[in-house]
Amino acid sequence: MNGAARLFARGFMLQALFNPRGQQRGGLRWIVGPRAEELASEPFNANPVLAGYAIGLIVRGGPREYAVRRGALEAVLGGVGDRLLWGLLRPLSVIVGLAVSVMGPLAGAAALLAVYNPAELALRWRAVRVGLEGMPAVQSDLSRGGPIGRLGRRLARLCALGVGVLAGSWLAGHLETGRYLESGAGVCVTIAGWLILRRRSWDLWRLPLAALLLGLVWFAVETLRASLGPGARG
């Protein structure tokens, strides 16, 4: 097994020794081996999928070269990785799974896994391989105009398209059955959610705000249905 393949395989155990104090430091020491001894006094924390960039740099240039850029690199790997994996790829996988689930629950689960797993494995492999090429290659890969930046923008467009397809299907179903009140509420929620989340920055505080808005609108719909329904008229 060559060096890149060995680091790729070991990278799945990065969080096996996770703890609040050292975070992923124990897993890093096991993956990298004696090269990580000089980093043992400092915690290590990065998105586990993109941590291969840091792991490859440590193996290639040694811990001292990595330590000079440690703070900035870990922040980038955490921020970019969390947005790319947890904020875009996972929601996109769920959207695809929901769309395919009309064919059955197993088909939906298979579609979700088929979207997420190959993409994550490809990102893990790319991170290790580019990390072994050195810091210039890592900086180019993670820059806004680099491959990872372009991938993030494409995933954002696909997520927006997927949400639109689901919202449109839901709306069409209610219109077809004559449930116009629910349709109007759905339009309002979709527009409001788009206005809240449309900024490029993925600020997590907008997510609970969007969820709260959805809950309030749905509560209003149910209240109106109960007050205007046949049971309320006696």
| pLDDT tens per residue, range 10-65 | 999 998 888 888 888 888 888 887 766 666 667 888 899 999 999 988 888 777 77
- Please give the Cα distance from 54 to 24 (Å, whole number): 12
Q: Answer yes or no: is pLDDT of 233 > 80.
A: no
The model's pTM: 0.73
Q: Which has the minimum average pLDDT: 49-63, 129-143, 207-221?
A: 207-221
| pLDDT tens per residue, range 169-201 | 666 666 666 666 666 666 666 666 555 555 544
Exposed e or buried b for every residue in 131-155, given b needs 16+ CB within 10 A? bbeebebbeebbeeeeebeebbeeb
- Please give the Cα distance from 200 to 198 (Å, whole number): 6
Residue 113 pLDDT: 93
Are 18 and 26 contacting, i.e. CB atoms less than 8 angstroms apart?
yes
What's the rounded mean pLDDT across residues 66-71?
Answer: 79
Burial of 93 from C-beta contacts in 10 A (0-12 / 13-18 / 19+): buried
What angle in degrees, to the nearest 10, is found between the helix axes of 135-142 and 147-176? 30
- Please give the Cα distance from 58 to 108 (Å, whole number): 40
Q: What is the DSSP string of 56-111?
A: HHHHHH-HHHHHHTHHHHHHHHHHHHIIIIIIIIHHHHHHHHHHHGGG-HHHHHHH
**Confidence band, pLDDT 50/70/90 cuts, at residue 212:** low
Q: Tokens in use for 53?
A: 């960039």
> Among 146, 162, 141, which Cα is nearest to 89's?
162
Q: Tokens in use for 2?
A: 């060559």
- Please give the Cα distance from 218 to 216 (Å, whole number): 5
**Confidence band, pLDDT 50/70/90 cuts, at residue 121:** very high
Are 192 and 157 contacting, i.e. CB atoms less than 8 angstroms apart?
no
> Among 43, 47, 73, which Cα is nearest to 137's?
73
Q: Where are the alpha helices (DSSP H) in 82-205?
A: 90-100, 105-131, 135-142, 147-176, 180-197
- Please give the Cα distance from 163 to 189 (Å, whole number): 12
